[in-house]
Chain A
Amino acid sequence: MTLEAFADTIVPGEKRSPDDRAVAGAAAGGGAVAAGAIELLEWDATGISEGLDGFASALDDHARAYAAEHALDLDESVPPFVALPFEHRTTLVQRLTTPGHPEKALWVSLALFSNMAFDSAAHMHTADAIAQGHPGLIALGIEKPGPDGLWRFSEYSYGRPLARLHPDTTPSGSPA
């Protein structure tokens, strides 16, 4: 749940149900969680899957300290990071990923894979993800492949000169 809340901070989405606590509902449409961030993070190909429990508990520790610092009362029925309101989750993640933070590399890698789940569905074959209505690829507007599963664009050019060439271009087409 804590890592869902982290992924949702990177690419926010709408709540999956009215009582969804991990997903804050800060944006319309599916976000990183609906895009499969947890599936991706849990895949050992990423190299971070074995550490996930530790990362969640470290994030909750940071959330507890953050809440104390800001005199926030946290709902104890959910993990501390989940209990943080969305804007505070955002501020905390900004702090953890700021240059100079000793754990920056760790939180950046979690953010990287959370974003990858959304922008490229890196846990799925891309053509399958589009066919299944993957929320990230659909949101980006990535075109469907052709019937053979490959992309080709037969229309690709405005087809006319659109600028003057640099006067010092050599015959081979390079800068002089």
Chain B
Amino acid sequence: MTSTERTDVLVVGSGFGGAIAAYHLAAGGAKVVVLERGPWLTGEDFDQDFKLGSSYTRAFDFVVGDGMSILGGNCVGGGSVVYFAAMPRAPRFVFERHGSIGRRMWPAAVSRDTLDPWYDRVAESIPIYQQEWSDVSYAGGLWAAACDHAGRTANPVPVAVDPTQCVNCNWMMAGCRFDAKKSLLFTYLPAALAHGAEIRPLHEVQHISRTDDGGYRVHYQHVDDEDYRITTGSGTIDAKVIVLAAGAGATPVILQRSEATLGTMPRAVGRYFSGNGERLNTAILNEDRVRDVLGLERGNGLAYEANQIGKGPVVANWDRLDGSLPEYERFSLEQLYFPPGLGTILAQVPGASGVSWFGVDKKEVLKRWRSWLIIFQMIEDDNEGVFGPPPERGNADRLSQQMLGIGRLRYDPTPNTLRAWALADAEVKDILERDGLAEVAAWTNDVVGAYTVHPLASCRIGDDPATSALDDRHELRGHPGIFVTDGSAVPGALTVNPAMTISALAERAIPGIVAAARERDVEVTYGAPAPNGGTATRRAAAPLIPDLMRR
């Protein structure tokens, strides 16, 4: 089946970057179609089940690369449905980073000061809660107490989770059954739909070509609802403006595949990928020491044994987010839950020499799973990821019916990245092995490479055409009318969870997209309130808008 239709704006992907663009453009009067590769799941579709075929594997993609594997959302709402909902803003020094290029990597127009009004707009649009200590799970409390015992500070993390609805089931990677997580399914997406945007699930965009009238044609395939290895048809849609937001593991792949029809891509498409410097450590707690040293008691005779209980990351140590430290020595350490399925295979045996991710001793470690505390490091990496030639379709050769595929990303960590991970490993050990509290081991990078849940920077904004695929208003260099608003646009590692920054950048990109659409005779205006109608943050961003709309 082939069909061609027309729309003003075609949005690829319905995660943060896609949903925010879809809402504002639809609210401004444009005809908007959103193509989403994954299924459209809500509420009771979200299973608490590890069986292959449940929402855990339907809504998630795990793409194995060479030296780096990526976990990402694959559903309407994208990462917002499966993420842990931590929404901190990036620290000020991040915007001044030089990274691998030896000079400031962010556009001159973007700093923490100029992004704060856009962060505020996101905060008005997505309910973000500042957790009280009474909201903090046992695992988060344990991390806080260990940090305190080691003379460090610890902060409950701002999250898009309503504590009054949350049941602390820790199934949020499979989507939230209880509607406690305020994903895009509750914010930008219903508002976009209310303004007439259409969202089409199970539509996987393969490439883009040009039309004779100066617009673009998007080529997609229908994906089978259960077995994503199967496609059931194809089609095209013509649009005047394209917003690419397929995720940092997929957006550059679509552009690479489009090079044959669109012409040369900027050099930075598919380069400078960052895994947000992520790495995991597992601490195995000594329950007696938790009680004796930290004075923690659950009230049922247990000191901890609560790995399963909670809501993802709730407490972070930010002492090393110190702008006076040199680059690559700054990082955050966040307590995290990672469910079984993918969350145990890479853990190693503390103190082991040689390979220990499988075997007899590893089984003993698995038997102490209730006493695990997982610590998530976010360091400054060197943007060393590069995508090879694209696979036949999608962004991976799909191995399993859902979730598991083999991608083309190659990531060979530089000495800067390796040293930063070593510093973070040492810090975690210093905090958690103190006074016999725990034994700690990092997850191995030898099995599926390093591992990120926050892919970034593979099609980034910047001022220098040689090292950035997008200009500072997110337009693809040399291809006017194509914008990128997802994590690929973020220039580099953020040292904190990136959803808030991806969203703020997407909000900031909208005036420029509106201007481009108007230039292409789309009747659209900029200035919609927050999805809930709120306008409190609109005025602060207003002075920034003329510059962003200037063509």
Give A residues with C-beta under 8 Å from B. Answer: 9-12, 26-27, 31, 43-48, 90, 93-94, 97-99, 105, 108-109, 111-112, 115-116, 118-127, 136-137, 139-143, 145, 149-170, 172-176
Quick check: A162 and B358 within 8 Å, CB to CB?
Answer: no
Q: Which residues of the other chain, A, contact B363 by a CB distance below 8 angstroms?
A: 11-12, 27, 31, 139
Distance of A127 from chain B, by nearest CB (Å): 7
Quick check: B91 and A162 within 8 Å, CB to CB?
Answer: no
Q: How far is the CA of A115 from the CA of B342 in the complex (A)?
A: 9
Q: Given the known inter-chain contacts A116-B341, A163-B145, please indicate yes or no for A145 contacting B48, CB distance below 8 A.
A: yes
Q: Which residues of the other chain, A, contact B341 by a CB distance below 8 angstroms?
A: 116, 119-120, 122
B434 interface residue per 8 A CB criterion: no
Given contacts A125-B51, A158-B133, A158-B141, 17 further A-B contacts (CB under 8 A): A47-B404, A94-B355, A97-B447, A109-B404, A119-B344, A127-B49, A136-B366, A141-B367, A152-B168, A153-B308, A156-B137, A158-B136, A166-B155, A166-B318, A173-B155, A175-B91, A175-B321
Q: How far is the CA of A172 from the CA of B443 in the complex (A)?
A: 32
Q: Among the listed stretches B75-83, B146-154, B233-241, B481-489, which one makes contact with chain A, having 4 or more residues with CB under 8 Å of it? A: B146-154
Q: How far is the CA of A125 from the CA of B51 in the complex (A)?
A: 5
Q: Which residues of the other chain, B, contact A108 by a CB distance below 8 angstroms?
A: 447-448
Q: Given the known inter-chain contacts A90-B359, A158-B296, please indicate yes or no for A123 contacting B169, CB distance below 8 A.
A: no
For window 316-345 of chain B, which residues contact chain A by CB distance below 8 Å? 318-319, 321, 332, 339-345
Quick check: A11 and B366 within 8 Å, CB to CB?
Answer: yes
Q: Which residues of the other chain, B, contact A167 by a CB distance below 8 angstroms?
A: 153
Q: How far is the CA of A46 from the CA of B401 in the complex (A)?
A: 6
Q: Which residues of the other chain, A, contact B64 by a CB distance below 8 angstroms?
A: 105
Looking at A9, A123, A174, the one whose CB has the most chain B CB atoms below 10 A away is A174
Quick check: B148 and A47 within 8 Å, CB to CB?
Answer: no
Q: How far is the CA of A98 from the CA of B485 in the complex (A)?
A: 38
Q: How far is the CA of A127 from the CA of B49 in the complex (A)?
A: 7
Q: Name the residue of chain B whose CB is nearest to the CB of A100.
A: B446
Q: Name the residue of chain A whose CB is nearest to the CB of B496.
A: A175
Q: Which residues of the other chain, B, contact A127 by a CB distance below 8 angstroms?
A: 48-49
Quick check: A47 and B145 within 8 Å, CB to CB?
Answer: no
Quick check: A163 and B50 within 8 Å, CB to CB?
Answer: no
Quick check: B358 and A111 within 8 Å, CB to CB?
Answer: yes
Quick check: B358 and A10 within 8 Å, CB to CB?
Answer: yes
Q: How far is the CA of A138 from the CA of B1 in the complex (A)?
A: 49
Quick check: A126 and B358 within 8 Å, CB to CB?
Answer: no
Q: Given the known inter-chain contacts A156-B168, A162-B141, A176-B91, please indicate yes or no for A115 contacting B401, CB distance below 8 A.
A: no
Q: How far is the CA of A52 from the CA of B170 in the complex (A)?
A: 34
Q: Name the residue of chain B whose CB is nearest to the CB of A12.
A: B360
B309 interface residue per 8 A CB criterion: yes
Q: Which residues of the other chain, A, contact B193 by a CB distance below 8 angstroms?
A: none
Q: Given the known inter-chain contacts A105-B406, A112-B345, A120-B341, please indicate yes or no for A173 contacting B130, CB distance below 8 A.
A: yes
Q: Which residues of the other chain, B, contact A116 by a CB distance below 8 angstroms?
A: 340-342, 345
Distance of B221 from chain A, by nearest CB (Å): 19
Q: Given the known inter-chain contacts A90-B359, A151-B169, A164-B153, please indicate yes or no for A126 contacting B344, CB distance below 8 A.
A: no
Q: Which residues of the other chain, B, contact A161 by a CB distance below 8 angstroms?
A: 133
Q: How far is the CA of A98 from the CA of B54 in the complex (A)?
A: 32
Q: Name the residue of chain B whose CB is nearest to the CB of A40.
A: B52
Q: Name the residue of chain B whose CB is nearest to the CB of A119.
A: B340
B398 interface residue per 8 A CB criterion: yes
Q: How far is the CA of A119 from the CA of B308 in the complex (A)?
A: 13
Quick check: A115 and B141 within 8 Å, CB to CB?
Answer: no
Looking at B48, B50, B142, B177, the one whose CB has the most chain A CB atoms below 10 A away is B50
Q: How far is the CA of A56 from the CA of B470 in the complex (A)?
A: 48
Distance of A43 from chain B, by nearest CB (Å): 7
Quick check: B48 and A126 within 8 Å, CB to CB?
Answer: yes
Looking at A109, A141, A145, the one whose CB has the most chain B CB atoms below 10 A away is A141
Q: How far is the CA of A126 from the CA of B133 in the complex (A)?
A: 31
Distance of A90 from chain B, by nearest CB (Å): 6
Q: How far is the CA of A118 from the CA of B362 in the complex (A)?
A: 12
Q: Name the residue of chain B whose CB is nearest to the CB of A169.
A: B155
Distance of A111 from chain B, by nearest CB (Å): 6
Distance of B187 from chain A, by nearest CB (Å): 17
Ordered nearest first, which 3 A-B pairs have the shortest CB separation? A163-B154, A152-B167, A120-B50
Quick check: B136 and A157 within 8 Å, CB to CB?
Answer: yes
Quick check: B158 and A173 within 8 Å, CB to CB?
Answer: yes
Q: How far is the CA of A151 from the CA of B363 in the complex (A)?
A: 25
Quick check: B370 and A48 within 8 Å, CB to CB?
Answer: no
Q: How far is the CA of A43 from the CA of B340 in the complex (A)?
A: 19
Q: Given the known inter-chain contacts A153-B167, A155-B300, A165-B153, please indicate yes or no for A125 contacting B367, CB distance below 8 A.
A: no
Q: Which residues of the other chain, A, contact B393 by a CB distance below 8 angstroms?
A: none
Q: Given the known inter-chain contacts A153-B167, A175-B318, please indicate yes or no for A47 contacting B229, CB distance below 8 A.
A: yes
